[in-house]
Amino acid sequence: MLTKLREPFGKAGLIVAIVALIAALGGGAYAASGGLSGKQKKEVEKIAKKYAGKNGTNGTNGAPGAKGDTGAAGTNGTNGTNGSPGGPGAAGKSVEEVPIAAGPGEAACEERGGAEYLLEGATEGTEVCNGKEGSPWALGGLPKGATETGVWTFGASEASSEGGRVYVPISFSVPLRQKITDEANVHFVGPNGDGTTCKGKVTAPTAPEGVLCVYRAEVVGAEFVAVRELLAENNEVDTAGAYLVFREAHNESYGRGSFAVTGN
């Protein structure tokens, strides 16, 4: 190889050529200026290309670096500007009141009268009707033909059954208009009535007009005597009520039942 290099360059140029060749083999391009002729430069380039090494393969990627520190929080943004006020809303609808007359033949409100309320522009509204007439029972006493009911009960003790008699009160929440004076209109009957005058039963007592019907559920250890008015021994019924009389009672006697009375 040295012989080949010496012939074209001479002794002086050989040194320069060797240096250029070493530079070429190391990966750099040596450009000699002034030391080589044009022909020698071409020869050096030719020899450098011939003996220059090939590019090596890429090295493997390095391991990822450590995670960096978290950055500082950003500052809050500025508040947005207020929106412009909205325009006026649409006008609301009014309500109209249409009276409903009371009297026979008026279909609305069952002839009781009232008013119908309609939203502006509507064809149908809401009826508000007068209330039905209340019961007059609290004024003037129990009306003719009206019935009120109640219950009665007793449990005898040595004190209450002294002399073998027990007195059991019955009272009317709505007083009668007049006393029941005829003994024939006061009845003490069994759980299912008597089938003639008092036709109800102890759980649904009834009575004809002007009659008091007392229904017995059970009476143990005593005997019924009569229905008496409050301040005397007559078998009558006061407007406020009456009391039942039982005899031969003892401290284990008891009884219970119901009653019905109808005004006359």
Pairing of the two strands 212-220 and 186-189: parallel
- Could you tell me the pLDDT band of residue 261, with boundaries at 50, 70 and 90? very high
| Total domains in the fold of the chain | 3
Residues 234 and 158 in one domain: yes
What is the percentage of the chain residues whose pLDDT exceeds 70? Answer: 80
Contacts of 152 (CB under 8 A, 6+ apart): 168, 169, 170, 214, 244, 256, 257, 258, 259
Whether the CB-CB separation of 187 and 197 falls below 8 Å is answered with: yes
In tens, the pLDDT along 121-135 reads 888 888 888 887 765
Residues 173 and 255 in one domain: yes
Query: What's the chain's average pLDDT?
Result: 83
Residues 255 and 216 in one domain: yes
pLDDT of residue 135: 59
Distances (CA, A) of 42 to 7, 32, 33, 38, 214: 14, 11, 13, 6, 149
Distances (CA, A) of 38 to 13, 68, 136: 12, 57, 144
**What residues make up the domain containing 210?**
147-262
In tens, the pLDDT along 23-47 reads 555 544 444 445 567 777 777 677 7
Query: Is residue 141 situated within a structural domain?
Result: no
Query: Is residue 42 situated within a structural domain?
Result: yes
Measured CA to CA, the distance from residue 229 to residue 242 in angstroms comes to 5
Measured CA to CA, the distance from residue 214 to residue 79 in angstroms comes to 87
Distances (CA, A) of 72 to 68, 69, 75: 12, 9, 9
Query: Is residue 220 situated within a structural domain?
Result: yes
Of residues 241 and 250, more confidently modeled: 241
In tens, the pLDDT along 155-177 reads 988 667 778 899 999 999 999 99
Measured CA to CA, the distance from residue 166 to residue 217 in angstroms comes to 17
Residues 169 and 250 in one domain: yes
